Structures are given as structure tokens and as C-alpha cells.
Amino acid sequence: MKKLALPKHSVLIIAIIATWITTYIGYVTSFKMKIDNVMQELILFINPLSFLLFVYGVALFMKSTKRRNIYLLSVSLGTSLIMFSNAVFYRFFNDFITLPVLFQTSNFGDLSSSITANLHLTDIFFFSDVLIIYLAIKFIPEKEISIQKPIARKLYFVTSAALLMVNLGLAETERPQLLTRSFDRELLVKNIGAYNYHIYDVFMQSKTHAQRVLADGSELVEVGNYINANYAAPSADKFGIAKDRNLIVVSLESLQSFVINNEMDGHVITPFLNELTKDPDTFYFTDFYHQTGLGKTSDSEFLIENSLYPRNGGAVFFTHSGNTYQSLAERLGQNGYFTNVMHANNRSFWNRDIMYGALGIDKFYDIESYVVEEGQAVNWGMKDIPFLEQSVDLMTDMQQPFYSRLITLTNHHPFTLDEEDKMIPEYTSNSNTLNRYFQTVRYMDESIKLFFEDLKEKGLYDNSIIVMYGDHYGISENHNKAMGMYLDKEITPYDNAVLQKVPLFIHVPGYGKATTVDEVSGQIDLRPTILHLLGIDTKDDMQLGADIFSEDHEPFVIFRDGRFVTDKYVYTQDVCYDSETGEPIEAVACEPYIENAGVELGYSDMIINGDLLRFKQQEDEQLLPNVIGEQE
């Protein structure tokens, strides 16, 4: 019988156990995953094991002791890097890394300040298993055990596979259709483990890329029928109230609604925006939500331009910048508008220089269009006050009507300001992020006030419509303790969903009949709402949003991870809540909406992944000669 020299079988066992325990402790300490019962805790505990048994078990096929030891250390270093990277990423995005994110390398330089702010000294712990395995290799003597190769290996890997099946079976019991309704990455990590999740992510991304190749345009009929059935006709008294005016859209970086009409330790946070909420020329939306995913600001741009949902696994600006779209900019361009985006940042950040071409935007005023003098940059780049001032100067030279979309920067994590720009003191809580947030929001408010004054002074104000919206959250769930202190309440999953409200202002100078709008709505609704105010119908457009002013608008906001909010219910973390009381209710009340949310997200993914609008464009181009012939 031939003997097999195992890679210090005791070292192999130590390696598996060390990485297993390190991973589990990392789960508990670095990721705020909600555990509801003993079964979920058991699943969380065992889910790294099947992967670790398999990946470490490959060492059983290596005869050289040196090669086996190098392999064991390499695996432990790799798993440590995966956990460490996810922990740092989670602190900023409150989410887990996906494959497309890893290819967004052009963003890494700009993200450095936010990444550095999320590094903790305790992150060294993620590499403790590497040290343990190294010490085991160094001090545990080599053993040679007499075993039969085929039987031993087969039993080992059968055990690994069996554990995976048990894990998947328990996960399916706790969360039916887990792998087919994978909108929530946290659910995947909680149930199948961080390592298996990344394997699953690679598979799903490969499947997504194959969808474009296999698409033939027939899917357009099904999607089109759904869109037509849900079309919301424009409001008779709002349609065209801003016809032929300039459109100025301002993305208010990281601004959430909880600061509007509110104070911090007696200091008014947003005095100018507070005034706008009562202005008869301003529609202020109190129940408006961001719907972004990992693409954050770029996702909000995508939503507003296309009235489609962002992708679940990464920024569409990176993954599908070669697609054909029916954007807001393209529609306005067809109606005589000069379309542009103004953002004092590198043109390649979020792949904007490429994506804006796909969206039909005429010009991108990037950092090269601005003069950043000494003291005019902080944190991520040019301060909002000089940025908005120079943007108005650029607008004065534009052909009218124009569509300018401006992206602010200063109110961005980690929310740092120069001393001369601090108009209110810091808050005092256990979160430096929240403490500084109020100061940068106050600075942003001042910049918007000066922006309005500038538009009036340069003669652009009266003939424009100004739309301003919060692009995504600024304070993530990782700061719930501090938020609870500020709001004087314990933050529940229901509160976390409601805190995704961002402000929306639609300011129409001279209108005089604007009111506060309490309709539940989201960023996906902005495109049709804006176009209808400008007198442009959208009945034939491939969009999933609806005009908020329309009587047919449904108060139903779907988040990219499958959560949703209606005027009656809030659904989050598999629990249905009463929207008024915040109390959990019977799940059956939310079931129809859960199904509808899945359908709508699925259709959006179908359009993006299959690049279906290229077929729509081809159909339109074929019809155009016939229409011209009939007119002649």
C-alpha cells in the first residue's frame, strides 16, 4: 500500500479551523447582519466551512512539503484579504464587493480619502489565521500517515460537498428562492458565506454578459407591454408649465431628508432649503426616495436619465456604457436643447467620459472647465460655492434652451471642511461621520442660496426650471447608534428604510401655485415628471418610472435590493411593516408588492443586460423613412 505524506495533517486541520473562526468572528464584528433566530446563527457559523474544506483540501494532492506549506499560507492570505476588503468596503457602502466593482480601478484614487477613513487598527485581526498557520508550519513536526489515496481524498471531498448541501438546504428553508431572487447581497453572505457568495457573483456576472449575446429583440414585446400597461398620463394642469424653459438639475451630494426643517443642538441645518419648502414657486416632495445601488451618484444619474433601475452588482456606468439608451438628455436634444453635465472632477471618474456619450449628452464640463484657486478645494475636490458660481458663468454663454445637470461634491464622506467654511459646530456623538455631516450640509445649503442669487443676477433665473434632489444617503446604517441619539429613538430596520428619503425640489419661478407633495415616489419617476413639465410626452418611451403629478402614479418605491415602500407598507429584511406605525404586520399584506418588485427589477435588468433598446432604435430607424414618405 502506497503511503501519502499529508501536508502535516494537523496543520491542515489548524488552517481550516483558524480561517473558519477568523471568518466567523469577522462576520459578527465587522458586518451588521441581522440574525433573527438560532437557525440563522447556525447557518452563519457553518457557511464558511464547505468552501474552506475544499480550497485547503487541494493541498492533499501536493507531494512537496514546501509547496504544500506555501499553498496553505497563500490560501489563508487570500481569504484574509477577501474578508478585510469586504469589511472596509462595507463600512463605506454598507454592502459587499462585487466583481464589477473590482474593475472600477479608475475610481480608486478618488475614493482614497473615504477608504482611509474606514480603515481600523483592529483589521489586523483578519490576518491572524495567517500567523497561526505560519507558526503551525514552523513548530509542528511533519507526520506521515498510512492512508489509501482514493478513499481518503474521496471521503474528504464528499464531506465538503455534503456540508455545502446541508448549508444550502438550511438556507433555502430560512430564505426560499435565495439564489434566484438575489437582490440582497447581505442575505447571500449571511446564508451561503462570503467566499461562496463571491463564486456565485462571478457566475452571475458571466451569465449577465451572455444575455446580450443571446438577446434577439423578442423580449421587447413583453417589456413594452408591461411599460404600456403602467404608463401614467400627465397631469392636465401641470403638463407644459415650464415649456421651452432652460432645465437646471442639481445633484445634492449625500443629502438626506432628515436634515430639512430640522436643527442640530439649536442650529438650523438648512435655512435656505427650509425657505424653499414653503415657496409658492417650489414643489417640495416629502416622501421621495433614492434608489441607488453600489454606483451611488452615478446610479442616481442613471435613474434620472433613463428611468431604469441601476444594476444590482455594480455601476451601470462601468458595466454597460456601450449600451443604447433613451435618455432624458437625448429626448431634450431632440427638442432643441443643448445638453450638458457640469462636475468639477476627473472626466473618467465613474467612467463618465464614456457613458455620457451613450446618454447623448452634448458636452461634459469636467475639472478642466474650472479654475480651482488656492483654498477652493477640500476633501474630494472643488468646493461647491466656487463650483456653482463658475457653472453659472458657463451657462451664460450657452445656447438656450439648455439642459445643465450639476453634480456637487463638498457634502461627501468623510465630510471634512476647512475651518473658514464651518458655519455651525460639530455634533457630539460616537460617530465622527455624523458629527461632521451637519457642517457640510450647512455649507451645501449656503452654496445653493448663492447659486440662486447668481442665476438671478445673470438673467437665467426667470426662464429656467430648477430641479434639485439628494443623490443617495450620506449616513449609512453603520452609524445607527449615533443617528438614534440625534433622532432620540432606537433605529429599527423600518427606520433604516424610511431614512432613505432624500429631498426633491422642483422650482418653477413665477408659477405661484406650487405645494408640498406627499406622494410616495423615487428617483426613477424624475425623467417622466420633468419631461411632462416641459411639455414633452413620454407615452412611447421605454421607462419604468411614472409622472409623480399624474393621477395614475402608483405610490410604490422599489429599492435595488428588493426592499420597497408604499403609502401603506414598508418591506425590509423579510419583514412587512405598517408605514404609519412602523410596527411589523402579517407578511401576506406585502406579498403582492414583493412579486411586483421582483417583476419590475427583472424587466429593468432585462433591458440593460440584453441591451434591448438597440432593437428599439433599429425599429424606429426603419419606421422613420415610411413616416417621412407619408408626410411628403
User: Per the structure block, which three cell numbers stand in for 16?
Assistant: 481550516
H-helix or E-strand spanning residue 267: strand 267-268
Grid cell of 568 as nine digits: 401603506
Write down how long the chain is: 632
**Chain centre distance of CA 601:** 14
Cis, bond preceding 414 (omega within 30 deg of 0): yes
- Please count the other Cβ atoms lying within 10 Å of the Cβ belonging to residue 3: 11
Helix (H/G/I), strand (E/B), else coil: 125: helix
With cell 408659477, the residue in question is 511
| Residue 268, H or E segment | strand 267-268
Q: Do 253 and 481 form a contact (C-beta atoms < 8 A)?
A: no
Query: What is the spatial distance between Cα 151 and Cα 148, in angstroms, rounded to a whole number?
Result: 6
Of the candidates 208, 214, 204, 210, which has an alpha carbon nearest to the alpha carbon of residue 180?
A: 204
The residue among 21, 19, 20, 9 whose CA lies nearest residue 137 is: 9
Q: Which helix (H) or strand (E) holds 445?
A: helix 432-457
**What span, in angstroms and rounded, lies between the C-alpha atoms of 69 and 10?**
12
Exposed/middle/buried for residue 486 (C-beta within 10 Å: 0-12, 13-18, 19+):
buried
Determine the Cα–Cα distance for residues 75 and 51; give it in Å rounded to an integer: 11
Q: Are 338 and 398 in contact (CB under 8 A)?
A: yes
In three-state secondary structure terms, 5 is coil
> CA dihedral defined by 260, 262, 263, 264, rounded to 10 degrees?
-70
Count Cβ atoms below 10 Å from residue 222 Cβ, excluding itself: 11
- In the three-class reduction of DSSP (H, G, I as helix; E, B as strand; rest coil), residue 84 is classed as helix
Closest by CA position to 475, among listed 184, 186, 254, 185: 254
Q: How far is C-alpha 277 from the geometric centre of its chain's CA atoms?
A: 27
Could you tell me which residues come within 8 angstroms of residue 533 by beta carbon, excluding any fewer than 6 positions away?
A: 238, 239, 240, 241, 242, 465, 506, 508, 549
Asked if 175 and 191 count as a contact pair (C-beta separation under 8 A), the reply is: yes
How far, in whole angstroms, is CA 258 from its chain's centroid?
19
From the CB of residue 517, how many other CB atoms can be counted at a distance below 10 Å?
16
Give the separation between CA 80 and CA 296, rounded to whole angstroms.
Answer: 27
DSSP 124: G
My answer on whether omega of the bond before 401 falls inside 30° of 0, hence cis, is: yes
Annotated catalytic residue, options 297, 319, 410, 529: 297
Beta strand 363-365 pairing with 338-342: parallel
Contact between 413 and 254 (Cβ < 8 Å): yes
Residue 297: active-site member: yes
Residues taking part in catalysis: 297
